[in-house]
């Protein structure tokens, strides 16, 4: 009985130390776990160039309630992609906000069989992601995340089709910025996968 009590005390101490470490080291970067939808070969003959545009009217990432928790934020995002039809995960690395969207949508397009070119083809289409909102805040002890973007397919300078996607989510703050990471990964996965890319290509008639 005495040894069991000692074990419980040690476990509580270890948990406290772990939470302390998380609290001290978090806030410098954001961790995003993105869950890919199942892979298909729906558009295995299509090629596009991918383009990102930051169209936000306000460039801030954190609202007033979250600013203090992320005052040491370095602008770095750690992105890991999880395949729904595979046990393997892909750690993309430490990247900035434009690359976060470019790398994620590159994988989404390739998941549909679409080849993403490194350079603009002379007469090929361009798939553009225009970010309109990306905001993390803390309100009444809840983390909130809002993301909105507009996707468009261009043929040359002509816009053929466009679709706007937005989403928001919240999670109770228990251990600090690590909870913000969780809700960010959830809503990021939701808004990226919500875009109906196959309908866009069919509407664009490309």
pLDDT one digit per residue (tens) for the chain, 206 residues:
545 454 444 444 444 333 333 443 457 889 999 999 988 887 878 899 999 999 999 999 999 999 999 999 999 999 999 987 666 788 888 999 999 999 999 999 999 999 999 877 777 899 999 999 999 999 888 999 999 999 999 998 899 999 999 999 988 887 678 889 999 999 999 999 999 999 999 999 87
Produce one character per residue of 65-78: b if its CB has 16 or more CB atoms within 10 Å, e if not: bbeebbeebeeebb
The pLDDT score that the predictor gives to residue 22 is 42
Radius of gyration of the chain, Cα coordinates, nearest whole angstrom: 20
CA distance 11 to 93: 33
The pLDDT score that the predictor gives to residue 104 is 97
The pLDDT score that the predictor gives to residue 39 is 87
Which residue in the block uniquely carries the two structure tokens 């470019």?
Answer: 102
* Proportion of the chain in helix, strand, coil states, percent, rounded to 5: 35, 40, 30
Retrieve residue 196's tokens: 């109906």
Integer angstrom CA distances of residue 96 from 13, 24, 32, 148, 193: 36, 22, 12, 17, 20
The pLDDT score that the predictor gives to residue 3 is 52
The pLDDT score that the predictor gives to residue 105 is 97
């Amino acid at each position: 009985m005495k040894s069991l009590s000692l074990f419980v005390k040690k476990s509580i101490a270890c948990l406290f130390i772990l939470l302390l470490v998380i609290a001290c080291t978090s806030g410098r970067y954001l961790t995003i776990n993105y869950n890919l939808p199942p892979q298909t070969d729906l558009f295995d003959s299509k090629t596009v160039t991918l383009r990102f545009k930051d169209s936000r009217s306000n460039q801030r990432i954190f609202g007033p309630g979250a600013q203090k928790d992320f005052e040491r934020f370095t602008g770095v995002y750690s992105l890991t992609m999880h395949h729904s039809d595979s046990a393997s995960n892909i750690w993309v690395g430490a990247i900035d906000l434009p690359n976060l969207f470019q790398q994620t949508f590159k994988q989404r397009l390739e998941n549909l069989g679409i080849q993403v070119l490194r350079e603009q083809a002379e007469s090929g289409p361009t798939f553009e992601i225009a970010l309109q909102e990306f905001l993390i805040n803390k309100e009444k002890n809840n983390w909130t995340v809002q993301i909105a973007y507009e996707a468009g397919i261009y043929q040359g300078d002509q816009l053929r089709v466009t679709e706007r996607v937005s989403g928001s989510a919240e999670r109770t703050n228990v251990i600090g910025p690590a909870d913000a990471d969780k809700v960010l990964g959830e809503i990021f996965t939701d808004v990226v996968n919500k875009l109906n890319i196959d309908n866009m290509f069919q509407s664009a008639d490309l």
